[in-house]
Amino acid sequence: MVRFPGEFEKHSATLMIWPVRPGSWGKDPSAAQKAFISIFETILKSEDLYVLFNNDEPQKTIDDLSSRFEDQPFSFIPLRIDSNDSWARDVGPTFVLNNDEIMGIDWRFNAWGGDYNGLYQDYDLDNKVASLFCSKIGKNSVDRQNFILEGGSIATDGEGTLMVTETCLLSPGRNSDLTRENIEDYLCNALGAKKVLWLPCGIYNDETDEHVDNVAAFAGPAKVVLAWTDNIDDPQYNMSKACYDYLSSVTDCKGRKIEIIKLPIPDNPVLIEKKDMDNLVFEEGEDNREEGERLAASYVNYYYTNDSILIPQFGGNNTESDRRAVEIMESVSFGRKVVPIYARDILVGGGNIHCITQQIPKVIKEG
């Protein structure tokens, strides 16, 4: 029987990809790489970490990082697998359990919309990451290349309830030949789920067609953390209110009402600045940014490790918002340490901590 474990369950490891793409991380990617390294350090305190490097990455980069982390409690495992960018959540396998076997689902990746509204034109390497990674680590890969999906567009409680957004999964750039019912049936079959919760939307200006992982996350069975704002003049207000109203009206697959924990977005919008534009270099056909553009900043884009919760921090005029987010997550951490990570340089790339990480579940045998 296939089961898609909750992210808050035990991991055997995490998958990440070293950031180098100039259109996401700049011609000088050092600021983003510093943020990634902070995440590496926290993950390695409680689980193994696989990091993918392109084949043209200098060996010195890998050697220096391996040396840096050689005394960590868990293993830093570099692998050479080419990719177009660093969004491990979306291009890596979605790992499920089939009884006691870990399997990776290989969805089709089309850069968040393909010809309709994809963010870059060349994504062939990204689309091969899932199957190649499974092969490298000796896990079976389940071929689901007939279905377009990104890992950030689905969330699970681990007990048979999935959560998605209509704006993403019903986008013409995904599976336009399928109805909502077709998509729901496909996901339930592939992931061993019994019910899909369809949030109406996600985070304002989220270029992934509003992935669920930026607006809502399961903190446990029947418990959802929801991005929120009390500012009725913010464009996010009506979007979050619609999600809140929906979640308040439904039950999970076991008939339980959903407990909703509001996690406010930054009080002040996080914008693209001139220094960001001076660093970014876009290739032909790649979605460009503009100075003053509002980024889809959300604290819900956090990541569970075995002993911590890595939560984005944006700094600047959002210091108070950052502190508030940490305090709220500490109240629902269930013994995990909440670790703040300065992540604005990841956000400039188009996503955040959850988007660049992918958990590999741990098999826990009963008895």
Cα-based torsion angle of the residue sequence 88, 89, 93, 97 in order, rounded to the nearest 10 degrees? 140
Strands 48-53 and 76-80: parallel
For the whole model, what pTM was predicted?
0.97
Mean pLDDT of the chain: 97
Look at the block and give the residue holding tokens 């490097």: 53
Among the residues of the chain, which ranges form H helices? 22-25, 30-43, 59-68, 88-91, 114-117, 124-137, 166-169, 180-191, 235-249, 274-279, 319-331, 344-347
Q: What is the pLDDT along the chain (367 residues), one digit of tens a residue?
A: 899 999 999 999 999 999 999 999 999 999 999 999 999 999 999 999 999 999 999 999 999 999 999 999 999 999 999 999 999 999 999 999 998 899 999 999 999 999 999 999 999 999 999 999 999 999 999 999 999 999 999 999 999 999 999 999 999 999 999 999 999 999 999 999 999 999 999 999 999 999 999 999 999 999 999 999 999 999 999 999 999 999 999 999 999 999 999 999 999 999 999 999 999 999 999 999 999 999 999 999 999 999 999 999 999 999 999 999 999 999 999 899 999 999 999 999 999 999 999 999 998 765 4
Please state, in angstroms and rounded to a whole number, the distance separating the CA atoms of residues 325 and 279.
29
Q: Which residues contact 205 (CB under 8 A, 6 or more apart)?
A: 293, 294, 295, 296
Q: Is residue 222 within 8 Å of residue 184, measured between CB atoms?
A: no
> Which pLDDT belongs to residue 334?
86
CB 108 within 8 A of CB 145: yes
Look-up of token digits 């389940």: 142
Catalytic residue among 201, 243, 253, 355: 355
Give the number of C-alpha atoms closer than 13 A to the C-alpha of residue 276, restricted to the C-beta side: 23
Please give the pLDDT value at position 261. 98
**Residue 366: what pLDDT?**
57
Chosen CATH of 2-361 out of 3.40.50.300, 3.20.20.70, 3.75.10.10, 1.25.40.10:
3.75.10.10
User: What was the pLDDT predicted at 82?
Assistant: 98
Sheet of 11-17: strands edge to edge? 76-80, 48-53, 11-17, 358-361
Decide if 355 is catalytic. Answer: yes
| 3-state SS, residue 342 | strand
Backbone φ, ψ for residue 348 (5° rounding): -60, -30
Q: What is the DSSP letter of 63?
A: H
